[in-house]
Amino acid sequence: MDFELNDLQKQVQQTFKDFVDRKVKPLAAEIDEKKEFPRDLFNQVGELGFYGMRYPESAGGNGLDITSYCLAVMELARGSLSLAASCTMQSLMGTYFLYRFGDDEIKNKYFAEALKGNKIGGICMTEPNAGSDLLGVKSIAKVTKDGFILNGQKTWITSAPVADFFTVLAKTDNHEQLSIFFVPANLKGVMVGKTIEKLGLCGSLTSEVGFVDVHLPKNYLLGQIGGGTKCLMEILAEIRIMTAALAIGVATAAYEDAVEYAKTREQFGKAIGTFQAMRTKFADMAVQLETAKHYVFYAAWLSEKNMPRQKESMLAKLYASECANSICDQATRVFASYGFAMEYPVQRYFRDARFTLIGGGTSEILKNNIGKMILG
């Protein structure tokens, strides 16, 4: 196991770092304040090949390793977690099941265009009464002679207001396990609710999505009836690794801003970074950040080797998200009163980082699952 980046990984990291510094960071505050989906930047990320990074060249992707993908995610999140959250949804959960199970129509009309950023996808899992408990999903796809009729209500759906298609987890009337369905957003009976006002990630639009007697042809079933839970588990580790990478990105932004501020802000005739209490604070932040990175790279390495990584991905996500929130909190304290002012981006990092505690599984669920794996 070697965490030293190879030349290609360094190139990917530098490419996205340059893009973020030139294009994303200058617009990050505006994205947050306007609460609008950053479509232009979203398309530019597609031009960089991000949405196809983790798919093979035979499917129109780049066939890159998961570590390279995580490096790109970290850089995007360092610039704007709103943009990064929307982009990672597109690159993983929003397109994965189309890649795995879509027929030629779905792949040519939707998947191929999604890899370019020309079409936007979302995944509909969470319901008002079914979040962590996916088996509590109430959405039903009634089996008919020519396909399915879908009814249900989903909530907290990332990119829903701008999505061209959804992959929807629902039960069928003859099976208790979940199935996965492809649902174009323009079908009759698909209703996207108003955008949910959130504490952070204001440029990553989220809303409820309702399905009322939506007629789906047979080929819109992705995989087998009742096979959805198993298929979701196949990428659950990657979802958690990706969320951990998002956490590291926003934590890095807060840490770097705080370092620069501590070097230039003067009190009592010298930079605040010269005070022992401040140096201790930065030492703690550095330990958290570097340890979180190693957790993520280790989990990514296991995933690349196709080795068991369920526990390791949970550890990575749990530790990185908790550390990100701690680092963003400490960064606001470095700024003191200015950390409470909207003119500095550190308050945005503090707000945005809360998302990483939820996406990919809450800390409480992860702790319970990790404990179960340890104790049996």
Q: What is the pLDDT of residues 72-97, one digit of tens each?
A: 999 999 999 999 999 999 999 999 99
Give the model's confidence band at 376: pLDDT under 50 very low, under 70 low, under 90 confident, else very high.
Answer: confident
Going by their DSSP bridges, the two strands 221-222 and 140-144 should be labelled as: unpaired
Burial of 326 (0-12, 13-18, 19+ CB in 10 A): middle
Mean of the per-residue pLDDT values for the chain?
Answer: 96
- Residue 4's pLDDT is 86
Per CATH, which fold does 229-375 belong to?
Answer: Butyryl-CoA Dehydrogenase, subunit A; domain 3 (1.20.140)
Every domain of the chain with CATH number 1.10.540.10 lies at 7-116
Calculate mean pLDDT across residues 291-318.
Answer: 96
Per CATH, which fold does 121-226 belong to?
Answer: Butyryl-CoA Dehydrogenase, subunit A; domain 2 (2.40.110)
Look up residue 82 and give its amino acid. S
Indicate the pTM of the whole model.
0.96
- Residue 263's pLDDT is 97
Helices (H), ranges, the chain: 7-19, 25-34, 39-47, 66-79, 81-91, 96-101, 104-106, 112-116, 228-264, 276-304, 310-335, 346-352, 363-375
Every domain of the chain with CATH number 1.20.140.10 lies at 229-375
Q: Which CATH class is domain 7-116?
A: mainly alpha
Evaluate if residue 2 carries a pLDDT over 80: no
Going by their DSSP bridges, the two strands 165-172 and 121-124 should be labelled as: parallel
Every domain of the chain with CATH number 2.40.110.10 lies at 121-226
Look up residue 161 and give its amino acid. P
pLDDT in tens, 152-190: 999 999 999 999 999 999 999 888 899 999 999 999 999
